[in-house]
A and B are shown apart, each in its own frame.
Chain A
Amino acid sequence: MPENDKALTPASRGKVSPYPIEHFVADVEETPVQPVDSSTADGAPRSIWSEAWRSLRKQPLFIISALLLLAVIVVALFPGLFTSQQPNDNCLLANSDGGPIAGHPLGFTQQGCDVLARVVYGTRSSLMVGLLATLGVVVVGGVIGALAGFFGGWVDAILARVSDIFFALPMILGAIVVVQLPFFRENRNVWTIVLILVTFGWPQVARITRGAVLEIRNADFVTAAQSLGVSRISALIKHVVPNAMAPVIVIATISLGTFIVAESTLSFLGIGLPPDVMSWGNDIFSAKPSLRTNPMALFWPALALSLTVLSFIMLGDALRDALDPKSRKR
């Protein structure tokens, strides 16, 4: 910097304006100087979760979806409360594709079963598949993604390639390939369907968990924990994972919806849950042949399905807004 001294001289006494400048001082009372970092200790402590809850409570999207889901869960747990009809017994072929009559407000299926009862009793298996598959992908994908993100290096490289491979085989396509195998043809039930969905669904959760963990593992508080003597694994479990939960919860909620759709798509194609298991997908499948004459037998299970999925996706959306770290900071 040879021109240092030159640069210093003209500025050394500040700049002087050719215009008169008045020295103005505001009234001290008007803007009293407050102590720096004064503590405001009123009100209950607000953790991230309680903050999220406060903002969630105000969102109509959340309220609607939460109420709908509550209703769906109650129906799944206690189907008997919502219909006096049996879904499979008392099916009279005489009622085949019949319209609504007293005691049967939604009419009959082609087999002459009560549509309302089918829809009500079908809730449980549809929901079960969604819940179990979500649980599965969160455990498998979450653990793999967290390990990949936290340890990086070759662990990450291998796991990234593996999930790339699974991505090349989209869930429905993969599921279609697998269900036609003799082994699955002979053992079609809720568990095998869940197994198939988890097999092809985990990479997405893994990717999201990996991203979240990657972002947090370099945060100063993780470094601080390590310099306190917290081991790497323990820092992962105690600090990184809890902070990486938000996006995983969001994707899990949305996945729940997509798994229910996936199951019903497979059932719709006739390769999902076996015909004797009551599910919305199976009902839609069996209402297909008589679509032109009795569209309502397809409409009602489809409506139940769509509303449930919509609720999960809306809930996921609302959670994303509430848990978004970007909106959290402000």
Chain B
Amino acid sequence: MSTHSMDQSQPLNGLPKPLLELRDLAITFKTNNGDVPAVRNAHLTIMPGETVAIVGESGSGKSTTALAAIGLLPANGAVSGGSIIFDGEDITHASEKRIVELRGSSIGMVPQDPMSNLNPVWKIGFQVKETLKANGLPHTAKDIAQVLSEAGLPDAAERANQYPHEFSGGMRQRALIAIGLSCRPRLLIADEPTSALDVTVQRQILDHLDRMTDELGTAVLLITHDLGLAAERAHKVVVMYKGQVVESGPALEILTNPQHPYTRKLVESAPSLASRRIEAAKSLGLEDSDELLAAHPDGVRTENVIEVKHLSKVFKLRGALGKSTDFKAVDDVSFSIPRGTTTAVVGESGSGKSTVARMVLGLEKATEGQILFDGVDITTLDRRKMFNFRRRVQPIFQDPYGSLDPMYNIFRTIEEPLRVHGIGNSKSREKKVRELLDQVSLPASMMRRYPNELSGGQRQRVAIARALALDPEVVICDEAVSALDVLVQAQILNLLADLQSELGLSYLFITHDLAVVRQIADEVCVMQKGRIVETGSTDDVFDNPQQEYTKALLAAIPGAGLVLPPEVA
């Protein structure tokens, strides 16, 4: 540890001095419960023009570390040790004036969420203009259009006169990239710049960012939770865990030869890499390897537990002055779920995939078409029969913070379905709740806890236990693992796979994340704008995609382009 920082601080012979250096950086947050160390002993070096990625899960301190470099810590956070050296100048405790000078012109930033990072009340052009002006650059309409079109925004001159809400997410992110790079900074801090965007857009934006920073010779500090993405985009990867740097080194080497146990776990779990691994394993003929998560008995796939036929859903959108227009959210969708298997519906936001899930759950009326459950059309069930049907199909939702009633403790949450359906007495119900908790690997002592005391993964386990309480045949997972950190995600996927083989469950898996699909699904339906554009077995769709759209989705998986040496696979 100590020898290391010595090495890093001395410029090596014949090399330019590092652009940014963090030496033993410590950051502390003042909270109501006293001082909380957020970052300890963080160190990293960025050479001019180099891309360095910090990888870590939420709460690992990766964003905090990066933001400290331009003095953008939240009000209750402060650097409590170590130093930040930018281009040879110690800026750890630089004056506010100096930091303002550096921001924009020397160190730029591209933030995470394009929806919330543009001021909604000012035109895009104005927000570019004030950046140029504040950094003493020419700021005529032509300059503004130039900056915007460099970031790949078409019709930049007209677009500059629009407000952020008139832009799509991808366009907003381009505008933010334009702002971040407008003053030609030497370092760009990109904080999860695309995690809020659809995968295909994500790829285009990252490619563009790559090209621009290459041309301008800008160094990039990329913050991401996705190891695959980091390895694909960066020269160097820094892995952070619990506020500390646990490993850093050349991107590919970290991936192929992880040393720290945490990095190893991360490499094992990253879905984008796992999906590559499955592919590699298959090509080596290791198909039956334990590595494959979706390990259901390849036995008899006789009947379809759910058959969806020509399903459509039309929403009436209320326009101005009472005029209403029809919006076809789901358009003639058909698919089936063989009993005991997993069917994934994949699509980007607005593809209609969640509407399909809601209709299968009987929460939304279908405009047209049939949903056959064991041969019975559930769209025509009366209340009584619908109530009975509900026992057999249960949902798990995306947001682990929103899917549990904060007023109910864990016992009441899991017991509720039993009580609603009048199953057993209070004693047998308690026994059942204990069994369910055991099934999802939570201790029985959890029973009296409240959701606010649980972590995201624990909550998702509780949600799974609740879904299983009525012994359903089908579980509908609506983005069930999308909000979880990589390691937690892997565990929950494992749990779902185990439960499937144990209980013979069938899953309808709704997701935007193809990497996850590869790990869990047997069949895939790709949805785009309300229609299914491609359907087939997971292997077929991944190995031999027929549609351009599917190909684009596959190519957009971060790390999809990495050619891993076989020993990793």
Contact = CB atoms under 8 A, between A and B. Distances in A.
Interface of A: 1, 4, 7-9, 11-17, 19-28, 30-31, 33-34, 36-37, 39, 41, 45-48, 51, 55, 58, 219-221, 223-230, 239, 242-243, 328-329
A45 B408 CA distance: 12
Given A14-B232, A15-B234, A36-B487, A224 B563 contact: no
B interface secondary structure, majority: mixed
B216 interface: no
A230 B395 CA distance: 14
10 contacts: A13-B563, A17-B235, A24-B249, A36-B487, A48-B406, A223-B363, A228-B394, A228-B420, A228-B421, A243-B405
Interface stretch (B253-261, B329-337, B501-509): B253-261
A228 B414 CA distance: 11
B167 to A, nearest CB: 22
B235 A1 contact: no
B562 interface: yes
Contacts of A27: 1
A220 B274 CA distance: 30
Nearest to A27: B1
A273 B261 CA distance: 76
A48 B405 CA distance: 11
A13 B445 CA distance: 48
Contacts of A9: 561
Nearest to B398: A220
A1 B252 CA distance: 26
Contacts of B169: none
Nearest to A240: B405
Contact of A229 (B51, B242, B391, B562): B391
What are the 4 closest A-B residue pairs judged by CB atoms, nearest first? A23-B249, A17-B235, A220-B403, A229-B390
Nearest to B238: A24
Interface string B439-467: 00011011011101101011001010010
Given A11-B562, A14-B232, 6 more contacts: A23-B249, A26-B244, A26-B247, A37-B461, A41-B445, A329-B401
A1 B1 CA distance: 46
Nearest to A49: B407
Given A25-B259, A28-B260, A227-B393, A12 B561 contact: yes
A24 to B, nearest CB: 5
Nearest to A48: B406
Contact of B402 (A20, A28, A36, A221): A221
A221 B413 CA distance: 10
Contacts of B491: 36-37
Contacts of B395: 223-224, 227
Contact of A7 (B1, B262, B555, B562): B555
Given A21-B250, A224-B395, A229-B387, A12 B563 contact: yes
Contact of B399 (A31, A220, A228): A220
Nearest to B51: A15
A37 B51 CA distance: 32
Contacts of A219: 402-403
Which of A25, A28, A30, A239 has the largest number of chain B CB atoms within 10 A?
A25
B236 A21 contact: yes
B225 interface: no
B314 interface: no
B402 A4 contact: no
Contact of A39 (B47, B363, B446, B450): B446
Contacts of B403: 219-221, 224
B470 interface: yes
A45 B450 contact: yes
B443 A39 contact: yes
A16 B242 CA distance: 28
Which of A16, A24, A45 has the largest number of chain B CB atoms within 10 A?
A24
A216 to B, nearest CB: 9
A1 B551 contact: yes
A4 B555 contact: yes
A98 to B, nearest CB: 53
B550 to A, nearest CB: 11
Contact of A45 (B231, B259, B390, B453): B453
Interface string B324-363: 0000000000000000000000000000000000000111
Contact of B207 (A7, A26, A223, A225): A7
Given A4-B551, A224-B463, A228-B416, A21 B363 contact: no
A137 B41 CA distance: 57
A206 to B, nearest CB: 22
B251 A46 contact: no
B397 interface: yes
Contacts of A221: 402-405
B552 interface: yes
Contacts of B443: 39, 41
A23 B260 contact: no
B417 interface: yes
Given A15-B233, A23-B249, A26-B247, A33 B241 contact: yes
A220 B252 CA distance: 40
A14 B251 contact: yes
A30 B200 CA distance: 40
B203 interface: yes
Nearest to B394: A227
B246 interface: yes
A198 B463 CA distance: 42
A92 B466 CA distance: 74
A27 B401 CA distance: 34
Contacts of A30: 1, 244
A20 B47 CA distance: 10
Given A23-B253, A28-B261, A228-B417, A1 B407 contact: no
B307 interface: no
Interface string B547-569: 01001100100001111000000
B83 interface: no
Contacts of A13: 252, 562-563
Contacts of A230: 416, 420
Nearest to A228: B417
Given A17-B236, A22-B7, A25-B259, A239 B47 contact: no
A229 B7 CA distance: 64
A12 B246 CA distance: 26
Contact of A228 (B453, B470, B563): B470
